[in-house]
């Protein structure tokens, strides 16, 4: 057996195991299998996802390899990228507070703020149905049929697909009851993350999330970004929005509108250490 070091971090309770590249190579295990093994909450460390530092990139300061707890690959994870940014800076893997990260969603740029929070340029929301992807003519206000009802939904990609449902009902109850069924709905050829949103004001929303490949999580950074974009495009929110999730709050800025969507989305929030340790593989 091989013993490796790991760091456990969380962004608003959305938790991740982080491995440096040398420890990952020692395991001689595919990242898919390693994610399933290490993220098991009963027989291993337990987490929503596995992050592996990837220094072998040429088009950015650093790269990452990210897998969900079920072994599926994720193009982007908002809470994960904040944790990764703090880890990379604290460990001296990068030596500047603002740097570029190579991800499967493209180049993402996080910045370590003076108050300890992480602000991330999450790039532009993707609103073209075939690029999200979703099998609809329009990404806004389309029907999603489930077992016993029909939801009016919006689709947005933040490098990964999201289905946003704005409602006055209990968002947690809806996520628990319908999250998996919507995640696997045929409208979404790559499955989808599912967000149930309650609008509190033009500058504040509540959000419960069913994450693709993870089920219910305490927070979702890309989901917060996608939900704010959908709310703004529907004329329900202004350009700076506090997003309340079960694990805490994120702050999302987007200067876009239904008439002008060219702007990048910015996400700000915490990234915290849970514990460090060693495990035998």
Q: What is the pLDDT of residues 102-125, one digit of tens each?
A: 999 999 999 999 999 999 999 999
Q: Which domain holds residue 139?
A: 129-263
Q: Is 220 a catalytic residue?
A: yes
The answer to whether residue 9 is domain-embedded is yes
Neighbours of 30 (CB within 10 A): 11
Q: 151 φ, ψ to 5°?
A: -105, 150
User: Does 121 fall in a domain?
Assistant: no
Total structural domains within the chain: 2
Tell me: do 167 and 247 sit in the same domain. yes
- Paired strand residues for 250: 243
Q: Are 78 and 223 in contact (CB under 8 A)?
A: yes
**CA torsion through residues 232, 236, 237, 243, sign:** negative
Q: Residue 70 falls within a domain, yes or no?
A: yes
> pLDDT for 132-177, tens place per residue?
999 999 999 999 999 999 999 999 999 999 999 999 999 999 999 9
Q: Name the nearest CA neighbour of 241 among 201, 210, 211, 279.
A: 201
Residues 27 and 143 in one domain: no
Whether 124 maps to a domain, the answer reads no
Instruction: Report, as an integer, the average pLDDT of 59-84.
Output: 96
Q: Are residues 43 and 64 in the same domain?
A: yes
Asked whether residue 54 is assigned to any structural domain, the reply reads yes
Residue 123 forms part of a structural domain: no
Catalytic residue among 77, 83, 163, 214: 77
Whether pTM > 0.85 for this model: the answer is yes
Average pLDDT over the chain, rounded to an integer = 97
Catalytic residue among 163, 220, 225, 237: 220
Buried residues in 96-122 as b, exposed as e (16+ CB within 10 A): eeebbbbbebeebbbbbeeeebbbbbb
Q: What pLDDT was estimated at residue 74?
A: 87
Asked if residue 138 and residue 105 are part of one domain, the reply reads no
Say if residue 91 is in the same domain as residue 164.
no
pLDDT of residue 147: 93
Based on the fold, state whether residues 258 and 276 are members of the same structural domain: no
The answer to whether residues 235 and 137 belong to one domain is yes
Residue at 120 is within a domain? no
Q: Are residues 208 and 141 in the same domain?
A: yes
Query: Does one domain contain both 252 and 275?
Result: no
- Tell me: the pLDDT tens digits for 11-62? 999 999 999 999 999 999 999 999 999 999 999 999 999 999 999 999 999 9
Q: Where are the beta strands (DSSP E) in 69-149?
A: 101-103, 106-112, 118-121, 142-145
Half-sphere exposure of 271 (CA within 13 A, CB side): 31
Whether 225 is a known active-site residue: answer: no
CATH assignment at residue 14: 3.10.310.10
Check residue 78 and give its pLDDT. Answer: 96
On whether both 66 and 191 belong to a single domain, the answer is: no
Does one domain contain both 174 and 102? no
Predicted confidence (pLDDT) per residue in 185-237, tens digit? 999 999 999 999 999 999 999 999 999 999 999 999 999 999 999 999 999 99
At 205 the pLDDT is 98
Pair 168, 189 in one domain: yes
């Amino acid at each position: 057996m091989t013993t490796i070091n790991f760091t456990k971090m969380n962004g608003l309770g959305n938790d991740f195991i982080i491995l440096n590249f040398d420890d990952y190579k020692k395991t001689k295990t595919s990242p898919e299998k390693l994610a399933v093994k290490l993220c098991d909450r009963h027989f291993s460390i337990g987490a929503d996802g596995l992050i592996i530092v990837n220094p072998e990139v040429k088009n950015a300061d650093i790269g990452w390899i990210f897998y969900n707890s079920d072994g599926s690959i994720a193009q982007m994870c908002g809470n994960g990228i904040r944790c990764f940014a703090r880890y990379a800076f604290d460990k001296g893997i990068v030596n500047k507070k603002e740097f570029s990260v190579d991800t499967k969603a493209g180049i993402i740029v996080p910045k370590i703020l003076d108050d300890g929070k992480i602000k991330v340029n999450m790039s532009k929301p993707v609103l073209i149905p075939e690029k999200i992807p979703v099998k609809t003519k329009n990404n806004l206000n389309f029907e999603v049929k489930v077992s016993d009802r029909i939801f009016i939904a919006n689709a947005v990609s933040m490098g990964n697909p999201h289905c946003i449902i704005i409602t006055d009902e209990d968002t947690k109850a809806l996520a628990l009851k319908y999250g998996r069924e919507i995640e696997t709905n045929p409208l979404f050829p790559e499955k989808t993350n599912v967000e149930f949103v309650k609008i509190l004001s033009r500058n504040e929303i509540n959000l419960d999330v069913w994450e693709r490949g993870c089920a219910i999580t305490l927070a979702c950074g890309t989901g917060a970004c996608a939900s704010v974009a959908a709310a703004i495009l529907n004329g329900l929110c202004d350009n700076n929005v506090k997003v309340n999730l079960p694990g805490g709050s994120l702050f999302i800025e987007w200067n876009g509108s239904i008439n002008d969507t060219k702007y990048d989305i910015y996400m700000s929030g915490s990234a915290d250490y849970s514990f460090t340790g060693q495990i035998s593989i």
